[in-house]
Amino acid sequence: MNGKLYNLSQVKLFLGDDKQQLGNMITIFLNETPIMLKALNDNCETKNYEEVKFYAHKLKSSIDLFQINGLQQDIRALERLAVEEKDFPSIGRYVTGITGVLENVMDDLEKEV
């Protein structure tokens, strides 16, 4: 993966060799992810775990598609904890960790567009 936190091979497999579509997919990710991260963090702060679960679920498909290193298990653990409404400190740690990694990925992906 050349030290990157993500791998575009799944996206390229999905889109083929269409570089414009790849750019569009990355742009959508870059536009939508900050909105979802803000909502995830805001709902975590207010302990609205139903919404934490909702945004974790929405982020899961992007994390899988972009094969974001280290987050595939974390996003599932966050979603599960939010459903169970257990271990509130871990929910906050997962949200913080996921947010940090996704912010780094977005910074790197901006260079790909």
Which is nearest to 79 in space by CA: 42, 110, 49? 49
d(CA 53, CA 51): 5
| Mean pLDDT score across all residues of the chain | 93
**What's the mean pLDDT in 55-62?**
97
End-to-end Cα separation, the chain, in angstroms? 18
* Confidence class for position 1, pLDDT limits 50, 70, 90: very low
Contact 3, 108 (CB under 8 A): no
Pick the CATH number of 9-106 from 1.10.443.10, 3.30.70.940, 1.20.120.160, 3.40.630.10: 1.20.120.160
Residue 13 has pLDDT above 60, yes or no: yes
User: What are the structural domain ranges in the chain?
Assistant: 9-106
> What is the pTM for the complete model shown?
0.91
